[in-house]
Structure 1
Amino acid sequence: MTTDINTYKFVKETGRWYIDLPDWPGVKADLEMVEGADIMLDYVGEGSDVVELMLSETLFDGSSTLKLIEDYAEHVGGGIYLLDEYNGVTLNQQMWLCDVTKYVFGGLPESIYFRKVS
């Protein structure tokens, strides 16, 4: 079985996190990580202003799980995801991931698996 794993860069500019998607057809403001995703990136980034994450819809070695707990696709777009634990630490961090998630994955996956690139 083949696992599609793609690497994405997240950059913190003037205190705000953005996903780096050069081919994004919309405005840069759409790419801002807000509503808990910014807190997660601060935690995972451990003080860095650049974080690279490997992302997949399929579980892979060393990955953590973002689980979709509420789908807002019909209303405001995106969904609420939960990061229950990261590197053995219980976080229970909820975050809203906007419709940019659909651009990256082609929809709102039930689970997003990720691992920080060393």
Structure 2
Amino acid sequence: MERTIRFYKNARHEWYADIPEWGGAIEDLQMVEGADELLNWIAASENECKLLMADQFIQNAEILALVYAREENLGGGGDYLLEQFRGEFKNHKIWLCGVTEFVFKHLPERIYFKELQ
């Protein structure tokens, strides 16, 4: 499955995913625990970016690898590792909440992503 998702910063410089069909609280769409740092790298000085994200291989994409699926009492979702970013070694840990499962209909072992202009 492939999906284009827009991410944006609010007035307090907090990152959020723009998922119109999400029926839950807006707070659930906030990007935290490493995902916000990744979006800062991608967007540089911009306040938004669009990513093509997929649970199957995409040519020239970055890769997030699932390390641990969290239980609901620990926030759900999964802990992912970004080993490299734009050819640089990062070993960056990211938590993606249960909204990830809502988007992909499962918690992917790998998430491939690349920025769309």
User: TM-score, normalised on structure 2?
Assistant: 0.93
Structure 1: which 5+ residue stretches go unaligned?
A: none
One-letter amino acid of the structure 2 residue matched with residue 105 of structure 1: F
Q: What is the distance in 2 between the residues matched to 1:91 and 1:48?
A: 21
Aligned to 1:88: 87
Equivalent-residue separation in structure 1 for 2:18 and 2:36 (angstroms) = 14
CA distance in 2, matches of 1:9, 1:42: 14
Query: How many residues are treated as equivalent by the alignment?
Result: 115
Shift of 1:75: 3.6
For 2:27, what is the secondary structure of its paired residue? Answer: helix
Q: Hey, what's the Cα distance between the residues in 2 that align with 1:98 and 1:70?
A: 12
Please report how far the alpha carbon of residue 74 of structure 1 lies from its aligned counterpart in structure 2 after TM superposition.
Answer: 4.7
In structure 2, the partner of 1:102 is 101
Rounded to whole Å, the distance in 2 between the matches of 1:74 and 1:100 is 12
Superposition RMSD on alpha carbons, in Å? 1.0
2:31 corresponds, among 24, 30, 33, to: 33
1:17-56 matches, within 5 Å, as 17-56=15-54
Question: TM-score, normalized by length of structure 1?
Answer: 0.93
Q: Does residue 1:11 correspond to 2:23, yes or no?
A: no
Structure 2: stretches of 5+ with no match in the other structure: none
Q: CA deviation at 1:12?
A: 0.7
